[in-house]
Every structure is written in C-alpha cells, then in structure tokens.
Amino acid sequence: MSSLLRHALAFIACAVLFPVPAFAQDGTMYPMEAPDEPNAIPLGTGGVENQTASESWFRQWGDPMARNITEATLTPFLPDPDKATGAAVIVAPGGGFMWLSMGNEGWEVAEALNEHGVAAFVLKYRLQPTADSLEDFEGQMNRRFDEASNEGEAERPQRPRWDLSNQLEDAEAAYRVVVDRADEWNVDTDRIGMMGFSAGAGLTMHTALNSDVADLAFIAPIYGGMGEMDVPDDAPPMFAAIASDDFLFGGEFGVVESWYEAGVPVEFHLYQNGGHGFGLGNPDRTSNEWFDAFMHWVEVNGWLSAES
C-alpha cells in the first residue's frame, strides 16, 4: 500500500475516532466556497503538470480543506506588536499531498503561534491532481480505500518517495518572501523556523535537508514519517511529536536516531494517544500537550529572544 494511501486512510480513521467539534460530524465531504484570503501572497512558482481541475474547497469533520492547488500562496499571521518576539514559523498543513487541512493544521496553528509573539506564515503549497468534482473525488478515495482493504496486512509505512520538487520550490519561495519582508513584518531572519503536519512534516524535513535557499533555525515535524534518513551535521535542530496510536509511528524511531547520530539537537515527544491529524489537540488525549512543549523548547533554546 502506498504511503499516500496510508495517509488518506489514517486521516479518515482518525476523523472517525477523534472527530473535532464542528457542525458536520459524519465524515461527509461538504463542498464549500473558497474562503476570502485577502492577505494571501502568490508565490509565482508555476502550475502543476497535467492538472486540469481548478482549485476547490470542501469541509470534512468541521475542517476547511483545499485541493487541486496549482498556485502556491503564503498567508502571513502577525502577532500583536506588543507581543512580537521577532521569531517566525512557516507552517505547512498536511493532507497526503492531495489536499490541505487549512484550518486544523494551518490557520489555527498560526493563531496559536501569534499568541506567543511568533509571526506565522501558512504555506498553501501545490498538490497532486485529484478528480474535478467533489463527488468524483469521494469516489476516487473510496475506491482506494476498498483496494487497500483487500490487500491484507500492510508493510510498515515508508516515507513518501514521489517527486517533491514543486513543493520544495514553494517552500523556498515562501522562505524568500519572509526574508525579503522581514523588516516590514518585524522578523529576525536568524530565527525563522518551519513546522509541518503529516505530509507537511515530510515537506518540512525535505526542505531542511535538501534546500540551498532556506536557512532554517529550527524545524518541527508533527506526526510525520519516522523512518531513518541521512542527516548532515549542519541540519537544523528538530522538535518532533507523534502519538503511539498513529499509523506513521509503528514503533519506529529512525528519524530521531538519525538526528541524534548526526549530533544535531533533537527533542522528541511520543504521546500515548492522539491518533493521526490531531492538530492542536483532540479532547482528552495526551497529545494535547505538544504545543506547550514546543513553545517551551523554542523559549529554552533562545529563539524567542534576539540574543539567541
């Protein structure tokens, strides 16, 4: 079973087990108008090959989601000037590179960072093409679920192996925008980090390890792939969090060991429960504590002050 399909299956399973409070609790995909994004900055990184469908939005488990994204954008969320610390985080939502969980793993996280004086920038990056209509998209996903259910016990999930050149280009363009407008946004360019969720966590690590443009001060992959990887000794410090009942964990600690063996600072939180896709947290799950732990880590390492 592909890692992309695993992500989709886990996303649905998590929604069934741990639904977020919202008006729609049955997992149905409801079409929605694209929200106004007056502050979204086009990144000008090009389109998506063989993409014929237009960008569209739907809501599932109360969360607004975007798919068929062909034009990457970056939306700034700036803290109250009286709270601003100069630190900044580029936030990459997840969705298996087929859709983006813009609320749960984007805007809400950005607002939480703002409360701590951190400027946040939500990256809406380009995705793989999916069916044009929402009905056909649901059918497309259901067929994949049916196929997966007939495959028997699956192998341990592996890190995505498909081409991430579009997404890396989007992340690098986002980083350039933050640097270019750092004075305007009161951002210290030595204290720019990146945080991603699930597929966004994979993009975060891919950017940290492969970009010649993005000089990240720190990264925070949240419920991302746990497989080992080659980590250079100049990789950024990493904060990682995942729940033990997440399909991407599987008892594996490879990514943490890779950072440790490279001699790069790493903090890892394995939570008893939370499933996959918990965002800022699900009710009565131990994973609810991860964001406070992350902010403590950022503060202890000095990234909330100019003296870091």
- When the pLDDT of each residue in the chain is averaged and rounded to a whole number, the result is 87
- Written as one string, the DSSP assignment of 282-308 is -TT-GGGGHHHHHHHHHHHTTTTSTT-
Q: Which structural domains are found in the chain, ordered by start?
A: 3-300 (3.40.50.1820)
Q: pLDDT band at residue 8, thresholds of 50, 70 and 90?
A: very low
Q: Whole-prediction pTM value?
A: 0.87
Which tokens is 158 given?
Answer: 């592996």
pLDDT, tens digit (0-9, with 9 covering 90-100), for 12-29 = 333 333 333 334 455 789
pLDDT of 161:
56
Give the angle 53-58-62 at the CA atoms, nearest 5°: 165
Task: Quick: pLDDT tens for 188-215.
Answer: 999 999 999 999 999 999 999 999 999 9
Instruction: Report which of 185, 202, 234, 208 is spatially closest to residue 87, judged by C-alpha positions.
Output: 185
Q: Is residue 287 pLDDT above 60, yes or no?
A: yes
The whole-number pLDDT of residue 244 equals: 94
The tokens for 82 are 């009286």
Cα gap 128→137, rounded to integer Å: 13
Q: Which of 90, 119, 84 is CA-nearest to residue 105?
A: 90
pLDDT band at 61 (very low <50, low <70, confident <90, very high): confident
Q: Which residues pair with 31 in a beta bridge?
A: 58
Phi, psi (degrees; rounded to nearest 5) at 64: -70, 135
Q: What is the pLDDT of residue 140?
A: 76
